[in-house]
Amino acid sequence: MRLVLACVGRLKAGAERELVTRYVDRIRPAGRPLGLGPCDMIEIAESAARRAEDRMAEEATALLAAIPAGAGIVVLDPRGRHLSSEDFARRMAADRDGGLAALAFVIGGADGLGEEVRARASLMIAYGTATFPHQLVRVMLAEQIYRAVTILAGHPYHRA
């Protein structure tokens, strides 16, 4: 199952990009024997529309166009569920075992995600009620995907 990080905005060169790249690169060899990966990162430009609603709608359209056809969609949203790493891994495995060809993890822009994306999501997850910069959320998501792969592989990276 192909994994996709679909994000609004581009990470500039620096620590955050290096961390995301490190986890994405680790997913390929660890996930291959499990039928997971590769993990691709898709970055779409932030909308320049004046109104937040218009920005979210434009970004939603671009995100949905960038996600592979037929992919499952998991969105990060403050109203989402709080999952343990083990539950996150089980959800990924269930999607893979259910025959899903691709699973896209979506991070919206500063204004949030348009309703069209949330409506297509099979799962909404949250990293608590605090507000985090999108760059850090991308790092945390990439790490959780890698952690899920290692959990499914029985690798000692995750120590629960």
> What string of pLDDT tens digits covers the 160 residues of the chain?
999 999 999 999 999 999 999 999 999 999 999 999 999 999 999 999 999 999 999 999 999 999 999 999 999 998 999 999 999 999 999 999 999 999 999 999 999 999 999 999 999 999 988 888 889 999 999 999 999 999 999 998 888 7
pLDDT in tens, 40-75: 999 999 999 999 999 999 999 999 999 999 999 999
Query: Who's near 65: CB < 8 A, 6+ residues apart?
Result: none
By residue count, the chain amounts to 160
> In this structure, are residues 158 and 151 in contact, taking their beta carbons and an 8 Å threshold?
yes
Give the tokens for residue 42: 């898709």
> In this structure, are residues 68 and 101 in contact, taking their beta carbons and an 8 Å threshold?
yes
| Reported pTM | 0.94
DSSP state of 127: S
Phi, psi (degrees; rounded to nearest 5) at 97:
-70, -20
pLDDT in tens, 28-42: 999 999 999 999 999
